[in-house]
Structure 1
């Protein structure tokens, strides 16, 4: 299947979704991998993870990048090389969950998380979020909101990527309405307080969450 959807998050940030309907060979035969990526692919035991990995590379190709433009730093955070003679830094974040792979390409730091909506998020909500934010909601609404909050914390962690950050102890979501598709959150860590703007959306039974550092005036 071709590109599933593009969501314009801002003037300089876009979310690209790939719904994985192809088999492994159909994806593999359409891309070219550098040796390190091929070796990484061969270590994956799950067919689902392999296809998610390849679908991310299909999204890169859609944006005129390829696997050779993608690299990871010492902490495992992905980066993308600027295209052509551009000197402008390009930020990328990657996520995959079952039927969907997704990337965000942005001119500012961004974190992306894709989560399938499951009751498990509600069952463990007390371990990672302020459960008072689930009051007066139906069970279905609670599951969706808990899934968003988990995505908020994952996406912020992807931006900071610092050892020792705890979801319940360091990342705090402000209460929000699911229908607004936006939220705010704060990271309190190492005697610093940082604010983040959150955008989220749903597609089928999945939640897509993007975090951006708040720009200081």
Structure 2
């Protein structure tokens, strides 16, 4: 297992993608887990879910450059956080890859394998105005950009009860394999603008965003 891709977004922010090639036992041996984490791990089914949980945490350890125990918990909204380290984190995984983003500010990252099936659910997360700016010749890739961008915003904001369809809005963009999409999260009295990066990595799409501590 090795870092397949790494990008420094700014002085305080970076993300990395890791291809998961080891067996679960190999990944497990690289971690220090407390009793609660060990019990959770034992509940996971053998397979990709098991490897994903291990893979994101091994990658997090590599990015933080430490062999010490990392106290990583999940808050009431399902957002992971570090108890004793001054970083915000976001974790994602899809099939053979794990992705982790760290920063001094809130962040969100999503990685998805590009598949035709996204077409069937596009109406569930895209408004008509957004579907109208999707180009016919790159439709599948652009739909995945939109999904990953919205997922990254959702994770960065870090609260439940946010609808991709009704609360996260995207501006038109030109797909070039990588770039930036302007997004806006609107819910009740909340109105936040985001500049979300995206990139195609082989047959995967990645969306990533950095927010601000006082945005809520």
Superposition TM-score, scaled by structure 2 size:
0.88
Alpha-carbon distance in 2 for matches of 1:200, 1:123: 22
State the shift of 1:69 in Å.
2.7
CA deviation map 1:26-55 (0-9, x unaligned)? 212222212222222122225101111111
Name the SS of the counterpart of 1:76 in structure 2.
coil
8 Å CA contact retained: 2:61, 2:70:
no
Which of 206, 209, 214 pairs up with 1:208?
206
Structure 2 gaps of 5+ residues are none
Question: Structure 1 residue 61 and structure 2 residue 58: aligned?
Answer: no
Structure 1 gaps of 5+ residues are 84-88
Name the SS of the counterpart of 2:3 in structure 1.
coil
Alpha-carbon distance in 1 for matches of 2:175, 2:167: 22
For the structure 1 residues 39 and 197, does the alpha-carbon distance in structure 2 shift closer, same or farther, using more than 3 Å as the test?
same
Residue correspondences, number: 208
Q: Which residue in the other structure is 2:79 paired with?
A: 77
How large is the Cα RMSD of the aligned pairs? 2.0
8 Å CA contact retained: 2:106, 2:157:
no
Superposition TM-score, scaled by structure 1 size:
0.88
Question: Structure 1 residue 188 and structure 2 residue 190: aligned?
Answer: no
Which of 111, 117, 141 pairs up with 1:144?
141
8 Å CA contact retained: 2:93, 2:99:
yes
8 Å CA contact retained: 2:106, 2:213:
no
